Amino acid sequence: MSERSFFLDRGVGESRGVVLIGARPERLLIARDNDPAVQALGALAVARVVSVDRNLGLAFLDLGEGPEAILNLKSEFGPVGEGAFIEIEIRSEARIGKGASVRWLRSAEGPVRLLTPGPDLESRMRALAKSAAVESGPHARAIVDAAQDEALETVFPLPGGGDIAVQPTRALVAVDVDVGARSRGGKRVDRSANLAAIFEAARVLRLKGLGGLVVVDLAGRGHDGAALLAAARSAFAADNPGVAIGPVSRFGTLELTIPRRGRPSLEILAGGGPHLTDESRAMALLRAIEREATADRGARLEATAAPGIVDAAAPYLGELVARYGARLTLRAEAGRSGFGVEVR
């Protein structure tokens, strides 16, 4: 297995971390300054029961900030009624259309509050390899920027030819295998492409932070099910505990489930769409301002951006001014799709 290396970029408004396996990004972690601490993976909090659905066996909880969380009720908890306060741990962060999943710890007294924050981004990275060094600085930022660009891609080439397309939907994540230029060679070529696709899909899903039900549409037919299952167990071992892999179906698909833990990096960057959100573009604008301010500490900077980007960047201007002095003007320009930074 290729050696893993770790890179951390601390910027104004957000921190980003990347794990490389060899020369390719395997994980992208993003933490923004405005993320509610009580919603973070591993956080301990006192929550209030808002409502209980006995038919579904679920309780919906108010955490004080962000969307309601979800608790799967069990008989050992005893009666859980509306208005009760309980101590919980965040086990899976909220994502689009679904609140955080929590673990019951004990009954508690109000009010709703954060007890202990979850591990910070650097701690989460170090947990992946405790002895590894974490590099920061300009080189790390370049590595992270490239990994972020790759996380937004849909199609990924396979060694030896062909590619996979990874597309999340509301119900599942679809992975399509295309042998491409390998098409002449029959079952041997299909087998090689499918094995490569399984390992590449595991890397890409970790990079995008995607989990839940994953369906891989394999190339060809008459598959070597035992070899593919062995490959899948090896490729997705890093996502354990909790990975479940089914047999290759009669329709040539491999299905598996991957535990959801952190909020997907793809969702943080692009929401539910194909492009960066205004908030993500604002983070890029802040990095561009930092770059120019660091390169010329005596210059006056004027940044121009679409109104939505300006609104998202505005809360962080005070930190930029404190770092580099009062030399910054940020102007909204209606109709502009992106941003620009000029040195005066």
Q: Could you report the per-residue pLDDT of 128-168, keeping only the tens digit for each?
A: 876 778 999 999 999 999 999 999 999 999 998 899 999 99
Q: Quick one: average pLDDT of 290-317?
A: 89
pLDDT bracket for residue 320 (50, 70, 90): confident
The pair of structure tokens assigned to 303 is: 């940044």
pLDDT bracket for residue 185 (50, 70, 90): low
Distance from first CA to last CA of the chain, Å, rounded? Answer: 50
Q: Which of 267, 272, 327, 276 minimizes the C-alpha distance to 93? A: 267
- Quote the CA–CA distance of 71 and 99 in Å, as a whole number: 10
Answer whether residue 78 shows pLDDT above 80: no
Answer whether residue 184 shows pLDDT above 70: no
The pair of structure tokens assigned to 297 is: 């500490």
- Summarize pLDDT for 130-140 with one digit per residue, the tens: 677 899 999 99
What's the pTM value of the predicted model, to 2 decimals? 0.92
CATH architecture under which domain 42-116 falls? Beta Barrel (2.40)
Answer whether residue 182 shows pLDDT above 80: no
Phi-psi region of 145 (alpha: psi -120 to 50; beta: other; left: phi over 0): alpha
Paired with 177 in beta bridges are 164
- Summarize pLDDT for 191-210 with one digit per residue, the tens: 999 999 999 999 999 999 99
- For residue 241, whether the previous peptide bond is cis, meaning omega lies within 30 degrees of 0, is yes
Sort strands 134-135 and 113-116 into parallel, antiparallel or unpaired: unpaired
Q: Find all residues with CB under 8 Å of 134, minimum gap 6, and list them.
A: 6, 7, 8, 17, 122, 125, 126
- Quote the CA–CA distance of 342 and 344 in Å, as a whole number: 6
Tell me the domain boundaries of the chain.
Answer: 4-36+129-147, 42-116, 152-266, 276-343
Mean of per-residue pLDDT scores for the chain:
92
Rounded to 5 degrees, φ, ψ at 304 are: -125, 135
Answer whether residue 344 shows pLDDT above 70: no
Domains 42-116 and 152-266 are alike in CATH topology: no
Q: Find all residues with CB under 8 Å of 1, minimum gap 6, and list them.
A: 21
Q: Quick one: average pLDDT of 39-54?
A: 96
Answer whether residue 1 shows pLDDT above 90: no
- At 331, the amino acid letter reads R
Contact 87, 46 (CB under 8 A): yes
Q: Which residue has the higher pLDDT, 340 or 284?
A: 284
Q: Quick one: average pLDDT of 227-238?
A: 97
Q: Would you state the pLDDT for residue 48?
A: 97
152-266 adopts what CATH topology?
Aminopeptidase (3.40.630)
